[in-house]
Structure 1
Amino acid sequence: MRVLVTGHDGYIGSVLVPILRQAGHEVVGLDTGLFADCVLGPAPEEVKTLRVDLRDVEPSHVTGFDAVVHLAALCNDPLGNLNPDLTYDVNHRSTIRLAKAAKAAGVQRFLFSSSCSLYGKGADDTPLDETAGFQPVTPYGESKILSEQGLLELADDDFSPVFLRNSTAYGFSPRLRGDLVVNDLAAHALLTGQVRLLSDGKAWRPLVHIEDISAAFLALLEVDRGRVHAKAYNIGKSSENYLIRDVANLVAEVVPGSEVTFAEGAGTDLRNYRVTCDLIAAEVPEFQPKWTVKLGVEQLIEQYQRHGLTIEQFGSETHQRIKRIKSLMAAGKLDNDLRWVNA
């Protein structure tokens, strides 16, 4: 297929694009380039790229594609909280704009990178399936709900959206995100000797490696559309739900000499939910997730060491998304609406 991947210069996109190409698909990227320079190790192989802001997408940008894989978003809660309306503009309204443009251009398949964060604050520790109610606690989570609802309204015989509700991602990417819990805990364990928890660690979280997320996108792209049309899937493995404190202890076991500590003011994390991924396992057996958190931590440690990562680099704007945005704004390169100045 000829596939447009939005946000291809991001954390997941940098891993997904080579996997799609290896499977024989032609990939074009659409990305405004906020994080294109944020690389650890060799940069990913470049693909043809449309340097277009999501908020400016027109049908002409998506003409000639068989599918759109939509990753691009303001991608974490602190970034989303920076300006909630901007989060809704980029994550929700621009998603619907892109989908309408794709539908007008005759694109039949639309794979949306949603999130299990829309489940938000679970009432208890019962694993949630795709029919569970939503209790988002952040603008980011709310924006994913609104996007799914808007995309569902566009679904018909000619336009087939699928919603990938990703568990919390981890794992090595050439455009590493340090603001994800497993990536952060592994880096601090290796580079400081402290597995530093920013919360009390009592919250549940489903976790999934970005290579497994990428494998899910590939599987859902290639299966018969009638099997997955207008459906939502929790992405991960049902066995990969963890208490955050247990993840910290696991990291400490992998990194000799490290110990679990709590950051000053570490309190309760309102985001607390477990999920079941049994639906995708049953309906899309082509998707076979391979990673566990332990394997992922071992991979991260090996890659951090291979590329000579320092704690200063890890904490810098290169690997911390909110710092990157604030740095570009402070330098006058981005305006308050996160648009490039003089672009």
Structure 2
Amino acid sequence: MKNVLVTGAGGYIGSILVPKLLEQGCNVKAVDRFFFGVDKLQPHPNLTIVNEDCRRLNEDHFIDVNAVIDLVAISNDPSGELFKEVTYEVNYLARVNAAILAKKMGVKQYILPSSCSIYGFQDKEAVVDESAKTNPLTVYAKANEKAEQGVLALADDNFTVTVMRQATVYGYSPRMRFDVAINGMTYGAWENGIIPLMRDGSQWRPMVHVEDTTDVMCLLLEADTHTVNGEIFNVGSNRNNYQLGQLAKEIAAALPIEVKIDWYGDPDHRSYRVNFEKIEKALNWEAKYIAADGALQIYKKLENGTLEKTEQSITLNWYKELVKWQKVIKQVDMYGGILEIEENKALSR
């Protein structure tokens, strides 16, 4: 039975990954600040909840751990641009530190879920593989690249390190996000029959369903170390390389309602088309889902009322809300509470 430590365990990807690991018989140590609620993970006898900041992990957290899946991140470009310093601390320094601590404590395997966003802007005719020159354009992408470089340098015969460059993730999760492309398009279509789309629609983006990328994480835990140690894998599929204009059309066609496209903003200069042959050959793995599958899945859950858009489902908005209320609470908190306070022994009775 493997003991797996997962950081960011209560997040969009983590809340899909952790149940899969438990189903496979793993003991899971779920590390998170749980900004989006600990209820995203259901209680399980083999699940240990660790409410801790990734920047404060120490050697004790890695005792008896066999593998680490370091999901934690300040996620998406807008959040990274607003919280620049924090993004470097969490997405880069904390993850490299986790790998260093893991290696020191005898952990055998470390997996870093990174992002294809580090390819940045590429020639429209290019289909980049793992050997391509990276071109990170945002704080989020640059921090991911630094984390990759830092953890790969630790790989040796006793410490297996693998980097997953994930395509843009989509699909339903208990910690739902509507601030990623396919999910946001689907919500707009369901809400008012309109898909909002940043100009000009010709930019390429690779996509991967959250079920597919978490399947890869589980697969890597069982993979031959000679195949995956020190390796970078693009995680997605060639079928899931989309020009955003065509992506919007495919989503519209998949839904049982009339949908139109609403263009907005200045042209998005990030464009990258990615080759996924390496992971398909090395791990004999293929993605199961395409965008239409994910969009229809989300649409049905919205339609039957089992999913709704909340402040938590837009990551940056929720970060801002937490920061705002932290300031308010600090101003009014006194004697260990707000309305109810700790007992004052000097109070006359």
Normalised to the residue count of structure 1, the TM-score between the two structures is 0.91
Q: How does 1:168-187 map to 2 (within 5 A)?
A: 168-187=168-187
Q: What is the distance in 2 between the residues matched to 1:186 and 1:9?
A: 23
Aligned with 2:72: secondary structure?
coil
Would the aligned equivalents of 1:202 and 1:268 in 2 still touch at CA under 8 Å?
A: no
Deviation at 1:83?
A: 2.3
Would the aligned equivalents of 2:234 and 2:278 in 1 still touch at CA under 8 Å?
A: yes
Structure with max Cα Rg:
2
Q: Which runs of 5+ in 1 are unaligned?
A: 336-341
Would the aligned equivalents of 1:7 and 1:30 in 2 still touch at CA under 8 Å?
A: yes
Greater relative contact order (Cα < 8 A, sep 6+)? 1
**Correspondence 1:9 to 2:10:** yes
Deviations 1:158-203 (A, max 9, x none): 2111000000000000110110000000000011111111332221
Q: How does 1:125-136 map to 2 (within 5 A)?
A: 125-136=125-136
Normalised to the residue count of structure 2, the TM-score between the two structures is 0.90
Aligned with 1:208: secondary structure?
strand
Aligned with 1:186: secondary structure?
helix
Would the aligned equivalents of 2:4 and 2:66 in 1 still touch at CA under 8 Å?
A: yes
Partner letter of residue 280 of structure 1?
Answer: I
**Correspondence 1:324 to 2:318:** yes
Distance 1:309 1:284, change over 3 A: closer
Q: How does 1:279-294 map to 2 (within 5 A)?
A: 279-285=278-284, 287-294=285-292
Which residue is equivalent to 1:295? Answer: 293
Which residue is equivalent to 2:29? Answer: 28
Q: What is the distance in 2 between the residues matched to 1:203 and 1:308?
A: 33
Aligned with 1:80: secondary structure?
helix
Q: Which runs of 4+ in 1 moved over 3 A?
A: none
Would the aligned equivalents of 1:110 and 1:162 in 2 still touch at CA under 8 Å?
A: yes
**Correspondence 1:272 to 2:271:** yes
Q: Which runs of 5+ in 2 are unaligned?
A: 330-335, 337-349
Deviation at 1:258?
A: 1.4
Which residue is equivalent to 2:332? Answer: none
Which residue is equivalent to 2:104? Answer: 104
Aligned with 1:173: secondary structure?
coil
Deviation at 1:306?
A: 2.5
Aligned length: 325
Would the aligned equivalents of 2:198 and 2:267 in 1 still touch at CA under 8 Å?
A: no
Would the aligned equivalents of 2:237 and 2:286 in 1 still touch at CA under 8 Å?
A: no
Distance 1:283 1:325, change over 3 A: same
Deviation at 1:131?
A: 0.2
Q: What is the distance in 1 between the residues matched to 2:188 and 2:212?
A: 24
Q: Aligned Cα RMSD in Å?
A: 1.7
Q: What is the distance in 1 between the residues matched to 2:176 and 2:202?
A: 26
Which residue is equivalent to 1:338? Answer: none
Moved more, 63-72 or 79-88: 79-88
Q: How does 1:1-343 map to 2 (within 5 A)?
A: 1-36=2-37, 43-46=40-43, 47-255=47-255, 256-263=257-264, 266-285=265-284, 287-307=285-305, 309=307, 314=309, 316-332=310-326
Identity between Structure 1 and Structure 2 (%): 33
